[in-house]
Amino acid sequence: MYKPKKIIKRKEAKAMFKLIVQELEKESQLNDRTILIVDNITLLEQLKHEHVDDIKERGVVELFKNGSQEMFRENKSVDKILKIVEQQRKLQAELKLTPASDKRVAEVVTVDEFEDF
């Protein structure tokens, strides 16, 4: 039985770990090699929620002071969340856990299209 790394503390990240492990077990794809990718996805999930907390605390934009200059700038956590989500999607695709990578869906669509001709 695989468990999340000890560094994983957030409830959301632990839940994601459990969900992905269950999906990989259903497909008989859970092994030491795939668990490394699951660990990375889970770590990214934890980081994502830390950035969400930062946005909740400081907002989407923040007041930036540079000497006598004052301006608003985008909270860098917003951009980091977008990058984390994209990286998670790539790792999920590598594990064939995205809708686009589901071969059964693609096969059903292909068969139905050709039957119409």
| Residue 98, domain extent | 11-106
- Of 98, 103, 68, which Cα lies nearest the Cα of 86? 98
Residues 77-109 pLDDT 10s: 999 999 999 999 999 999 999 888 765 444 444
Q: Is residue 5 part of a domain?
A: no
Contact by Cβ (8 Å): 24, 34: yes
More confident residue, 97 or 113: 97
Give the pLDDT confidence of 34-55 residue by residue, as tens digits: 999 999 999 999 999 999 999 9
**Is residue 102 included in any domain, yes or no?**
yes
Question: What is the pLDDT confidence band of residue 111, given thresholds at 50, 70 and 90?
Answer: very low
Domain contains 69: yes
- Does residue 77 belong to any structural domain of this protein? yes
Is pLDDT at 112 greater than 50 in this prediction? no
User: What is the number of domains present in the chain?
Assistant: 1
